[in-house]
Amino acid sequence: MGIGRVAIKRGINAIVLIGMVTVINFFLFRIMPGDPTTMMISPRMTHETRRIILHKFGLDQPLYVQFVRYIQQLLSGNLGISFIYQRPVLDLIVERIPNTVLLLLSSFIITVILSIITGLVAAWKRGSKLDISLIVFGLTMHALPIFWLGGLLLLYFSVQLDLFPVIGVSTPWLKHESVFSYVADVLHHLFLPMMTLGIGNIGGLFLITRNSLLDVFAEDYVTTARAVGVPSRTILFRNVLRNAMLPLVTIIMLRLGFIIGGAVTTETVFTWPGVGLLIYRSVMQEDYPVLQGAFLIITISAVLANFMAEIIYGYLDPRVRYE
Amino acid sequence: MAKKIGIIGIIVTIVLLTTSSITLVEGEQKYEYGGTLRFPVDQDNVIQPLTNVWNINLRIFALMYDRLVITDQYWHPIPWLAQSWEFSEDGKTITFHLVENATWHDGDPVTAEDVKFTYDYSLEHQTPYVVGPDGDAIESIEAPDPYTVVFHTKRTVGTSFIERLCTRVNIVKKSEWEDVEDPFTFYPTVGKGLTGSGPFKFARQESGQYLELAANEDYWAGRPYLDRLFSVVIPQHDMQLMAFEKGEIDIVWIRPADVAKFLGMEGVKIFKTEAAGFTEIAFNTRRPPFSDRQLRKALSYCIPRDFLIETIYFGYAYKNLHHLPPAYLDWVNPDAPVYEYDLDKAAEILDAAGYVDNDGDGWRDYPDGSTFKPELKCSSTDIDFRQAEIIAESMKEVGLNVVLESGSGMAFWDSIFNEHDFDMCRMGWTPDTAWPGEMLSWYTTSMAGVGGLNIRGLSNATLDAIDLEAASEADPDRLKEILYEMQMIIAEECPNALIIRPHALLAVYSEKFEGFENAIPFGPLSYLDMIGFMQLHLKGAVAATTTLLTLSVPSTGTTDEVMSVSATLTTEDGTPIEEVYVDFSAGGLIFGSAMTDSEGKAGIKYLPETEGDVEFMAEYLGSADYAACESDIETSSVSKAEEPGPVGPTPTPPPEKPDYTMYYVGVIVILLIVVVALFMRSRS
């Protein structure tokens, strides 16, 4: 079976999956109690005005009619209009994707680099005090709620030491002389949330790196290499690390899929105007067109990343055969 | 907006009965131009000047768009885009004369056609600003020449037309709006809806980050002093406080519990103004037994207001006993019945009405003997919930088995406003116009429908009839009579138990900006104070003459008795300084300001709420001609009023500020345990 046919098959699966999520997504928000229009309709309005507005948003139609309209709009790329912001949902989300990707991608790179280095050190010095300390550190980070870690960092570095700003992605009232000063301003704002997410997410990836390295260390070919006198550094980088990377790649690919979804808690703590903060506000105000749209986009990117991971995996690991 | 009619504050200290006079900029520059003021909002501003009614957006509309009439700090109408108007003999034709030098932000003149279009278009689409008796009264609008607009009405209209309708409708540009099909789903953009004629113009908006407004340098009434305004989106209140502390924003609204934290902060001043908003327990008069007026009265006697103010608001609230807040000055009927906290009286009424304990379980039952278990709904917001909790406890003391139910979000508001599914409900309201009859019309049958403001469902034919009469009354004396009668009827009907009026508390960096005193008593940046906004300016205007401020306060006072405080402002050689504002503070909190008279004397009244020493101070913030100065601190000792103080339910201790050291210690201990455990494991 060729990889092309596999790709088609998986692609169809992915589309079916997205379709299912869309359906669940639609009904999930309709099950929620309460009349969504309470938020957008002024108590001053007459009954007639209310009826007209409900009609404009199609909310006076039976559920199945609303569903058909929703699907029709989706197919033409229209995610609906936000009740609160009164703007197209797609615009709202797309505007915030650059901020979210900047934060999540940079913090993700930090997580990957740090967890591979620490995982390597821990596995190499297995059983030493350093290893145990690293495990404790990794477990603690894994267990710590990220918003709590973020809050602490914010209180200490921003408020106490006054090193970083507390809100936003840049300083809008500053007039920047050059691109560099703008970039510096953004980096200044980015640093704390990036470190919070970067360090806060280290736990899981570190433990996986360490364990998969240890598994490979126990393989016969490593023992053989040692026996024939290959230098340990060569074994580590040439034989062990390369093979231990496989599970890591899977996890990295899967996590990449969620980058667009943002980090709700971190973005809220640092008032970082990304998709996560939008989701938080929309939950608070029950602005369900936005939630529906955001969930759909997150689903699509996660499914796509999954699909890519499967395809790439075939190339990386010769043991994987598509049959 | 149900939810947004929260307790965002405005308004008048009881005090300032003197007529107001506002010095507008009008060509004469008193201070240097410049400065950027940053204030927080909890979400993006939505600039839909015809349809959006949220408080945070009204504030922006007032700055970007003009209205025919605006109101000053004391809620008096000021001619604005309409420089004058006259009513015809029969009261059915109103002619507005527009100012002739007003221009849109793009340079085109503002004409009568724009005004006519705005009103016609709003009426056609029934936007929230024109819905109601005033808008309904409009028959046709004419624009005979570019600076005259004539409204023809179906019936006689009165002051409510000017003060309620004309102070609310934002005038938009005809050429940008005439082809907009639906204002409810239309989102204005630059050159298409965002062009206003107000003192500030739209500069840019970044979703989720900020809205920037720039000074309109060609504003017809004179440009504002500030250059730029930033409405910074910070969803969480805690983060707003943090950003303020760090100086990333210049002003912030604070909660009573935060006052202590900011009182001592350098360069920071706290302004305390009495909000017009109030809280209530609404009774659902649609369903028995709350259709029984005697039961509603009994419950109204169960509100421990003093106790609530002390424990939940830390003293930053006033008792609310009248259906019109004192902010409306002489419109308030002093003879309307009030329901002071009195559990004995409540018990008496309940006994007489037959609500007695029949089955011996300790709780009162229905007169027919069946179990009575009224439900009290409230929003789950911390301060709301605790308020309702204490009131429920108090009702339990008279033997009513009250069940507290809290909720939030759509489902909650839906059950209150649309389904009317509640026995009692704790609500908060803020009026959005200056017309004194507005708050009373919230009790009429026309407001009792699905989604209406009269959630209590009160329906009183006399009240409905005289409400309509009020809307068409032009004579202030007759209007006062009508409103007095309305207050009488409402208080007798007792559709709700009034609770308190919270203060609006605002912390500002007064080291950086001046001019906030012009916005008191409204509270700067509350949505009606465009005038106050135009007066804000950077600190540091050059002053010519040194000034002296002498404060005089009574040396003793009692609680519940108003004290007269006055200050005299003179130059060093004793010449009085007239018609400037002096701020008064008690215990470091500014509670109001008053204008000096021809002798340089400014007087204000102060109501001490707690016993003990009060340190008063007066302050003059300075102008181009006179330097700022502070008076010496004068102390007066306040003793408890004679009358027996009301006794509240068992006091709950006030919440303590979280002490983070315990968190740190906790984490370190847990970490140590984990480390030790792991070491033990690795050894074994």
pLDDT tens for residues B121-176?
A: 999 988 888 887 888 899 999 999 999 999 999 988 888 888 888 988 999 999 99
For residue A281, what pLDDT is reported?
A: 86
For residue B594, what pLDDT is reported?
A: 80
**Closest CB from A52, A95, A159 relative to B245:** A159
Phi and psi at B490, nearest 5°, equal -65, -45
Is there a contact between B682 and A140 if contact means CB atoms under 8 Å apart?
no
Instruction: Tell me which of A45, A188, A270 to substitute to probe the interface with B (most B C-beta atoms closer than 10 Å).
Output: A45
For residue B646, what pLDDT is reported?
A: 46
Is there a contact between A52 and B126 if contact means CB atoms under 8 Å apart?
yes
Selection from B632, B633, B628 nearest residue B547 by Cα = B628
If one compares B117 and B650, the residue with the highest pLDDT of the two is: B117
Selection from B273, B267, B229 nearest residue B539 by Cα = B267
Instruction: Tell me which of A84, A90, A92, A173 to substitute to probe the interface with B (most B C-beta atoms closer than 10 Å).
Output: A173
Is there a contact between A158 and B208 if contact means CB atoms under 8 Å apart?
no
Tell whether the model's pLDDT for residue A39 goes beyond 90: no
For residue B645, what pLDDT is reported?
A: 44
Is there a contact between B417 and A43 if contact means CB atoms under 8 Å apart?
yes
Q: Which residues of B touch A86 (CB under 8 A)?
A: 46, 48, 52, 184-185, 187
Q: Which residues of A touch B2 (CB under 8 A)?
A: 38, 43
What residue ranges in B67-158 does DSSP mark as E strands? 69-71, 77-79, 82-87, 93-98, 138-145, 148-153
Q: Which residues of A touch B674 (CB under 8 A)?
A: 136, 139-140
For residue A309, what pLDDT is reported?
A: 80
Lowest mean pLDDT among B92-96, B115-119, B669-673: B669-673
pLDDT tens readout for residues A8-17: 888 888 888 8
Average pLDDT, stretch A62-81? 84
If one compares B526 and B136, the residue with the highest pLDDT of the two is: B136
Is there a contact between A43 and B450 if contact means CB atoms under 8 Å apart?
no
Is there a contact between A166 and B671 if contact means CB atoms under 8 Å apart?
no
What is the pTM for the complete model shown?
Answer: 0.76
Give the torsion through C-alpha atoms of A89, A94, A98, A100, to 10 deg.
Answer: 40
Is there a contact between B675 and A136 if contact means CB atoms under 8 Å apart?
yes
Tell whether the model's pLDDT for residue B297 goes beyond 80: yes
Q: Which residues of A touch B1 (CB under 8 A)?
A: 39, 42-43
Cβ within 8 Å of residue B348, ≥6 positions away: none
Tell whether the model's pLDDT for residue A56 goes beyond 80: no
Selection from B272, B349, B346, B159 nearest residue B590 by Cα = B272
Lowest mean pLDDT among A100-114, B237-251, B595-609: B595-609
* B630 — pLDDT class (breaks 50, 70, 90): confident
Tell whether the model's pLDDT for residue B525 goes beyond 50: no
Tell whether the model's pLDDT for residue B27 goes beyond 50: no
Tell whether the model's pLDDT for residue B682 goes beyond 90: no
Q: Tokens 């943090």 correspond to what residue?
A: B242
pLDDT tens readout for residues A237-260: 777 887 788 778 878 887 887 777
Å between A281 CA and nearest CA of chain B: 8
Tell whether the model's pLDDT for residue B23 goes beyond 60: no
Q: Which residues of A touch B226 (CB under 8 A)?
A: none
Q: Average pLDDT over chain B, rounded to whole?
A: 82
* A178 — pLDDT class (breaks 50, 70, 90): confident
Is there a contact between B128 and A33 if contact means CB atoms under 8 Å apart?
no
Tokens of B243: 């950003």
Å between A1 CA and nearest CA of chain B: 49
Q: Which residues of B touch A167 (CB under 8 A)?
A: 232, 234, 239, 243, 248
Average pLDDT, stretch B571-593? 80
For residue B20, what pLDDT is reported?
A: 33
If one compares B590 and B115, the residue with the highest pLDDT of the two is: B115
Q: What is the ipTM of this complex?
A: 0.81
Residue B539 near residue B512 (C-beta atoms within 8 A):
yes
Give the torsion through C-alpha atoms of B100, B102, B104, B109, to 10 deg.
Answer: 10
Tell whether the model's pLDDT for residue B75 goes beyond 50: yes
Cβ within 8 Å of residue A319, ≥6 positions away: none
Lowest mean pLDDT among A176-185, B330-339, B369-378, B589-598: B589-598
Instruction: Tell me which of B184, B212, B379, B454 to substitute to probe the interface with A (most A C-beta atoms closer than 10 Å).
Output: B184
Is there a contact between A47 and B449 if contact means CB atoms under 8 Å apart?
yes
* A287 — pLDDT class (breaks 50, 70, 90): confident
Is there a contact between A96 and B235 if contact means CB atoms under 8 Å apart?
no
Residue of B nearest to A99 (CA): B208
**Closest CB from A44, A165, A274 relative to B248:** A165
pLDDT tens readout for residues B36-57: 999 998 888 889 899 887 778 8
**Closest CB from A41, A99, A273 relative to B451:** A41
Q: Please state, in angstroms and rounded to a whole number, the distance separating the CA atoms of residues B182 and B169.
A: 17
Average pLDDT, stretch B660-675? 80
* B659 — pLDDT class (breaks 50, 70, 90): low
Is there a contact between B410 and A84 if contact means CB atoms under 8 Å apart?
no
For residue B652, what pLDDT is reported?
A: 52
